[in-house]
Structure 1
């Protein structure tokens, strides 16, 4: 057997590779290999007394023990790395191992022995055992059955606080957070904070069948709460609730609930907290102690197992963090607005009396009809009854009214003629308030629906020839009279035209007679 211990100790003392090789009788290549393997596996000096040459050889070269039995050696490091990849199983790796044995004319291990040897290796040298859970695959979430409390500074009353728990089954790393409610907003916010604590996102989330997250879960149908599903889509993860009355589907978080109830809630039983932030700070301190606490039956801790064996497999966090949205179903009012929390938002007037869906976020209101977005508004806060109205949502006659300003009124008059401009200026100068004047001009502009620009300009000239104080009522009368007069003149011209026009008349000679002289 090689002098593994001596090689590592001489290297720690700073002896050159040539000197170590000369002292131990090994080649420099072998000495370099031993030093590199020890560095990779974290074996550093000073060494414990029980770390004999045989122990170090089994630690650095576990496959040598198998080679002695005449079997094809197992590359445990490669098996452990491959198991971290999606959809790779021990069954597949054993099949590939058997194919390699046939090519090398070696005797393979049976599947049971293959699994047993890997399990022994992983339990002894690795932070996680990847047979059942892959790193970065699942996050299990639940509410703890026990509760904490916050003391009201004014009344001294104890306010109940609920503990949210999330666990990564592979490394057993956990996250905990206290909230005043178990409603949807608290549920979504706790998920977001859990992802930020872990520094990444798992492929799957396994919750219980609580009503805030799961609307309906049967053997044939799974209906998630729309907000919960939206959050999962934003983080590119999949929600797979545990089966009804099947707690072993999320056994890790169930176990963590009991353990964290002891290490956090019970540990804080004599701690007085006067705010939720103060309580969560205390929870975080106990959580860090729990995650860094050494395992009982193997080396390392949950934090170490996560850093070494699982963190690399998490998907990166999207930016910016998810902002929770709330969905509501409302009916469009006759004034083409919807009422949401005593604020009013417009939609296209074609959807009046239709039932639509509203998505509410902290800063945006989005409106959908048949899953198609038809409008969006910045969310209104403050005094009740505020309106957010878009011009494009209005009927045409409403747009005309809203568009009334001094500038638009004058521009419209200039587009018709000088007499119209004179009348508009007269109206603006006559009324005491601008709003009254614009309402009168709006009534004036509506005449353009029935009369041409020429007729309006002519009527304005006539109005000023009759009176120095024309009104819209006078203008309407003049337009009607002009219209009636124009129609009578047109009929008269047609009658005269019919009387003056004669057809070709054949004379008597045409019929063989004589024309009268």
Structure 2
């Protein structure tokens, strides 16, 4: 019986009646062959190495059970068990032998056991399903080609980049268009890919781009800190491909080429004016891609994922990962750090130190030696002034921040009435009170240095002979100790008919008399 020809003609749409007229096989026999082939999962094309005799053994195993002294393995069971983590052919062969011995039957040797399974896998197209275990890994990469985006006003052309993720077992693909390939988009695409698949894989296989690895040598691998945080949040492990070894993520490479054909090339005649339009078009083409029928196996990428892989995916965490970008900065003399848009304060005692900065869309955090020392709500718009917390400022700066007319007046009242008059003079001598803040602050420093009572006496002394006191004069009085001397009563000044007073002194007239 030429089983190969029968199955080939069936794939071409040849009817059972036509095969009977061609004297290839009877209708009853062809019906039994078709039913057995559907039951076992054998479809054309069939590997050329598979003979008709081997096909008959697979289609009708009961026909030879009476003459075969060995127990035929359950290939479907073996295939399903191999998909589980840690299960190997050796383990399954030992379990198969133990079961045969318990029933008093003779098992195949391990080499025959493995060879028979491989032949069955070739015929049933199950090879692809056992090369990668379901839910085991997700491979990611950027596509080499880009999608042009045009500015609707200027017509300027920019590029949209395509992120691709694939599950090697079912070949299910996720693709997303991004405005750039920077860290934030890289992390967000992973989050969206996991949400699209509805689960997380045990491993995450990436390229050696800077958003994934800082260094990948033959001795050790240093992962990007933000990427490592994503892996910890989803409970997966990152295994970067070796440098210049694309075969380590061959499915990602193949899926990238596939996506370039069925997504980028398929959109070549469309013109996009925003990244949102590109994202929507890519999402539509992605669904069409995952619903395309396989050429070498039954079903689609989506059906293969639903039937064979989804049950083995790790569950998603309760909340999505919030992408965070890490950077290093040296604190300047203004005790401020920047996120590229605004400036934020850190404790002033960290001036000159290296700090780690963790930036998210809503928060900016500062770490020093692993401990968080500052946290701010991140502003998305540019602010005119830096965001400074009072507790981060030095005591002098914090005191200056509290400078105002009311505070100075209240302080002067507590010192004494003469000090109050001096403070009022400083606050009212300029056009605005702020012009006198510096003099008022200097007066408070003199009080801290010499005491309130001495300052009050110094203010009384200077007001006794001047209506325009200054900090310099008050400081001189305190330095010389003149505030400790008693004030003499002022003598009444003689009145003069000359409203302008004496213009020439006695010495002038004395010199004039000697000349005569």
Please indicate, yes or no, whether the TM-score normalized by the shorter chain is above 0.5. Answer: yes
Q: Distance in 2 between matches of 1:111 and 1:475?
A: 105
Alpha carbons of structure 1 residues 129 and 475: separation in structure 2 relative to 1, 3 Å? same
Q: Distance in 1 between matches of 2:482 and 2:111?
A: 103
Is the 8 Å Cα contact of residues 136 and 310 (structure 1) preserved in structure 2?
A: yes
Q: In the alignment, is residue 359 of structure 1 matched against residue 384 of structure 2?
A: no
Gaps of 5+ in 2: 1-29, 42-58, 486-516
Which residue does 1:306 correspond to in 2? 305
Is the 8 Å Cα contact of residues 183 and 325 (structure 2) preserved in structure 1?
A: no
After the TM superposition, which of the residue ranges 112-121 and 318-327 deviates more from structure 2?
Answer: 112-121
Is the 8 Å Cα contact of residues 166 and 174 (structure 1) preserved in structure 2?
A: yes
SS in 2 for 1:309: helix
Q: In the alignment, is residue 245 of structure 1 matched against residue 244 of structure 2?
A: yes
Deviation at 1:357, TM superposition (A): 2.9
Deviation at 1:234, TM superposition (A): 3.1
Q: Distance in 1 between matches of 2:300 and 2:341?
A: 52
SS in 2 for 1:316: coil
Q: In the alignment, is residue 288 of structure 1 matched against residue 284 of structure 2?
A: no
Alpha carbons of structure 1 residues 418 and 115: separation in structure 2 relative to 1, 3 Å? farther
Alpha carbons of structure 1 residues 113 and 411: separation in structure 2 relative to 1, 3 Å? farther
Which residue does 2:169 correspond to in 1? 170
Q: In the alignment, is residue 368 of structure 1 matched against residue 364 of structure 2?
A: no
SS in 1 for 2:356: strand
Alpha carbons of structure 1 residues 64 and 377: separation in structure 2 relative to 1, 3 Å? same
Is the 8 Å Cα contact of residues 427 and 441 (structure 1) preserved in structure 2?
A: no
Q: Distance in 2 between matches of 1:325 and 1:396?
A: 33
Residues 4-36 of structure 1 deviation map (CA, whole Å, 9 limit, x = unaligned):
xxxxxxxxxxxxxxxxxxxxxxxxxxxxxxxxx
Residues 194-234 of structure 1 deviation map (CA, whole Å, 9 limit, x = unaligned):
22221222221112223443332211121233333333333
Alpha carbons of structure 1 residues 302 and 207: separation in structure 2 relative to 1, 3 Å? same
Is the 8 Å Cα contact of residues 129 and 170 (structure 2) preserved in structure 1?
A: no
Matches within 5 A, 1:1-400: 79=78, 82-115=81-114, 130-154=129-153, 159-318=158-317, 320-341=319-340, 343-383=342-382, 386-400=385-399
Q: Distance in 2 between matches of 1:427 and 1:380?
A: 42
SS in 2 for 1:181: coil
After the TM superposition, which of the residue ranges 96-105 and 367-376 deviates more from structure 2?
Answer: 96-105
Which residue does 2:452 correspond to in 1? 456
SS in 1 for 2:228: helix
Q: Distance in 2 between matches of 1:407 and 1:111?
A: 94
Alpha carbons of structure 1 residues 410 and 198: separation in structure 2 relative to 1, 3 Å? farther
Q: Distance in 2 between matches of 1:90 and 1:408?
A: 84
SS in 2 for 1:359: strand
Is the 8 Å Cα contact of residues 423 and 440 (structure 2) preserved in structure 1?
A: no
Residues 456-490 of structure 1 deviation map (CA, whole Å, 9 limit, x = unaligned):
1575378459848777667656765779959xxxx
SS in 1 for 2:251: helix
Alpha carbons of structure 1 residues 96 and 403: separation in structure 2 relative to 1, 3 Å? farther
Question: Please, what TM-score do these two structures have when normalized by structure 1?
Answer: 0.69
Q: Distance in 2 between matches of 1:67 and 1:483?
A: 125
Is the 8 Å Cα contact of residues 347 and 374 (structure 1) preserved in structure 2?
A: yes
SS in 1 for 2:253: helix
Is the 8 Å Cα contact of residues 40 and 124 (structure 2) preserved in structure 1?
A: no
Question: Please, what TM-score do these two structures have when normalized by structure 2?
Answer: 0.69
Is the 8 Å Cα contact of residues 164 and 174 (structure 2) preserved in structure 1?
A: yes
After the TM superposition, which of the residue ranges 111-120 and 130-139 deviates more from structure 2?
Answer: 111-120
Is the 8 Å Cα contact of residues 140 and 205 (structure 1) preserved in structure 2?
A: yes
Residues 387-441 of structure 1 deviation map (CA, whole Å, 9 limit, x = unaligned):
1112222222222222335665577668x56759956985697466443455444
Q: Distance in 2 between matches of 1:466 and 1:158?
A: 75
SS in 2 for 1:445: helix
Is the 8 Å Cα contact of residues 409 and 424 (structure 1) preserved in structure 2?
A: no
Alpha carbons of structure 1 residues 161 and 390: separation in structure 2 relative to 1, 3 Å? closer
Alpha carbons of structure 1 residues 115 and 81: separation in structure 2 relative to 1, 3 Å? same
Alpha carbons of structure 1 residues 333 and 196: separation in structure 2 relative to 1, 3 Å? same
Q: Distance in 1 between matches of 2:32 and 2:154?
A: 62
Deviation at 1:168, TM superposition (A): 0.2
Alpha carbons of structure 1 residues 248 and 57: separation in structure 2 relative to 1, 3 Å? closer
Is the 8 Å Cα contact of residues 338 and 345 (structure 1) preserved in structure 2?
A: yes
Is the 8 Å Cα contact of residues 132 and 168 (structure 2) preserved in structure 1?
A: yes
Q: Distance in 1 between matches of 2:117 and 2:409?
A: 88
Is the 8 Å Cα contact of residues 329 and 356 (structure 1) preserved in structure 2?
A: yes
Q: Distance in 1 between matches of 2:328 and 2:423?
A: 49
SS in 2 for 1:397: helix
Alpha carbons of structure 1 residues 158 and 346: separation in structure 2 relative to 1, 3 Å? closer
Q: In the alignment, is residue 442 of structure 1 matched against residue 441 of structure 2?
A: yes
Gaps of 5+ in 1: 1-47, 487-517
Is the 8 Å Cα contact of residues 290 and 302 (structure 2) preserved in structure 1?
A: yes
